[in-house]
Amino acid sequence: MTASLSKDSTGEPTEAPLVEVKDLKVHFPITRGVIFDKVIGFVKAVDGVDLSIPRGKTYGLVGESGCGKSTLGRAILQLTPSTGGTVTFDGTPITSLGPGKLREMRRRMQMIFQDPLSSLDPRQNVESILVEGLAAHGIGANRDERRKRVAETLDAVGLPRWALSRYPHEFSGGQRQRIGIARALVLGPDLIVADEPVSALDVSIQAQVINLLEDLQDQLNLTYLVIAHDLAVVRHIADVVGVMYLGALVEEASSDDLYVQPLHPYTRALMSAVPVPDPDVEDQRERILLAGDLPSPANPPRGCRFHTRCPWAQPTKCVDERPVLRVITGTSDTHRVACHWAEDIQSGVLQPHDVRAELVKPASDGEISIPEVLDPTAFDPHF
């Protein structure tokens, strides 16, 4: 349960999390029709997410392209309206706020985007981009006060004052992302949702931007939701990591626990794809190659949504029952996994036997063996 994340290491309760999400759903209607649009189905981009983000901490969200990460981030800020469930921000259920109150609240919840160039208006100089938000939220009594605040924000993100009169295209990618961060920061937010904040940047620049985000968090006690497909980025920056698959969380743990002991088969597959710098470890470790693409969120598999690709899927529970995110016996009480068989998979009682996914295990001489098809008669993925 989310409450476990609001206990400290001694089990003592801590202050309420800044963000609490309960059973959040975002279903986009699929319409068809020549004159009148008829709803013929729904894309279930987010379909029952529970999470909480403690104040001053970073929640990292990872998962395959199309699994619903951006939609979840936008729904937490209510930039995309939710279909069901609640988002509570600093004690206020924002999912039931009217547009006026929500707008007021939004000053405290800002977003940083993947592509800084397309998210910055090319016709506005940096000063105008930064002042625009202040004016919209009525921050600063006069022009001088706003200019002072803008100048301080530029300093905080490491941009020179001359940047104020320049336009976005005059900057490098890393500098543009600093402008994007400044635009969020100038409003004095408590929460920043950063959607793939460094994916569009050169590797050499990524570390600078990540370090800047960490420094700003320390100075300003910011709370982050960082969305990334790069597991290394998330490991570096996040206190808690949530792994998303087809609109729902399948695993959530502290960053250290998750990377040392991934328990959900999907997380294990994701982790096994990340190269390890030590060649001996790299040669010896298990690889799980997932077969097939992410199923359509318009028609998700029933039961466990991962069962069509899971090398450990068991008849018939995996197809019949959707597993809930739960604390697994013998692990930390902040490590939650949505898998019926997590204990048996972890202990080795259950062995992988999927005919559709390939399991590559190191051979005894350290060579990677040819993927074996594990007794195709033992398991019918279409049971």
Ligand X SMILES: Nc1ncnc2c1ncn2[C@@H]1O[C@H](COP(=O)(O)OP(=O)(O)OP(=O)(O)O)[C@@H](O)[C@H]1O
Q: Write out the residues near ligand X by the rule CB under 6 A.
A: 28, 43, 45, 63, 65-71, 229, 297
d(CA 377, CA 355): 9
28 binds, among ligand X, Mg ion, ligand SF4, none (CB under 5 to 8 A by kind): ligand X
Name 181's Cβ contacts closer than 8 Å, sequence gap at least 6: 112, 157, 197, 209, 212, 213, 216
- From 226, 313, 328, 359, residue interacting with ligand SF4 (rule: CB under 6 A): 313
Closest to ligand SF4 by CB, 87 or 243? 243
d(CA 369, CA 363): 5
**Torsion on CA atoms 79, 80, 81, 82, rounded to nearest 10:** -120
Contact 163, 171 (CB under 8 A): yes
Structure tokens at 319: 């197809």
Closest to ligand X by CB, 193 or 210? 193
67 binds, among ligand X, Mg ion, ligand SF4, none (CB under 5 to 8 A by kind): ligand X
Closest to Mg ion by CB, 119 or 334? 119
Q: Does 268 bind ligand SF4 (CB under 6 A)?
A: no
d(CA 94, CA 338): 27
- From 182, 318, 328, 359, residue interacting with ligand SF4 (rule: CB under 6 A): 318
- From 312, 325, 354, 358, residue interacting with ligand SF4 (rule: CB under 6 A): 312
Rounded to a whole number of angstroms, the minimum distance from the CB of residue 227 to Mg ion is 6
Closest to Mg ion by CB, 197 or 352? 197
Contact 296, 310 (CB under 8 A): no
The closest alpha carbon to 189, from 148, 235, 139, 127, belongs to 139
Beta strand residue intervals within 255-308, DSSP E: 287-289
Closest to Mg ion by CB, 61 or 209? 61
Closest to ligand X by CB, 65 or 364? 65
- From 51, 182, 294, 339, residue interacting with ligand SF4 (rule: CB under 6 A): 339
242 binds, among ligand X, Mg ion, ligand SF4, none (CB under 5 to 8 A by kind): none
Name 35's Cβ contacts closer than 8 Å, sequence gap at least 6: none
Contact 305, 245 (CB under 8 A): yes
Rounded to a whole number of angstroms, the minimum distance from the CB of residue 128 to ligand SF4 is 50
Closest to ligand X by CB, 150 or 200? 200
Tell me, by CB under 6 A, how many residues bind ligand SF4. 14
CA distances from 89 to 85, 190, 323 (A): 13, 10, 27
Sheet containing 19-32: give its strands across.
Answer: 38-53, 19-32, 84-89, 92-93
Q: Cα 257–262–265 angle (5° rounding)?
A: 160
Q: Does 304 bind ligand SF4 (CB under 6 A)?
A: yes
Q: Does 70 bind Mg ion (CB under 5 A)?
A: yes
Structure tokens at 9: 């290491």
Rounded to a whole number of angstroms, the minimum distance from the CB of residue 154 to ligand X is 29
Contact 40, 192 (CB under 8 A): no
204 binds, among Mg ion, ligand SF4, ligand X, none (CB under 5 to 8 A by kind): none
Helix (H) or strand (E) holding 257: helix 255-260
Contact segment (CB under 6 A) with ligand SF4 among 21-29, 217-225, 227-235, 335-343 equals: 335-343
Closest to ligand SF4 by CB, 171 or 312? 312
Closest to ligand SF4 by CB, 89 or 379? 379
25 binds, among ligand X, ligand SF4, Mg ion, none (CB under 5 to 8 A by kind): none
Q: Does 306 bind ligand SF4 (CB under 6 A)?
A: yes
Q: Which residues bind ligand SF4 (CB under 6 A)?
A: 264-265, 304, 306-307, 310, 312-314, 318, 323, 339-341
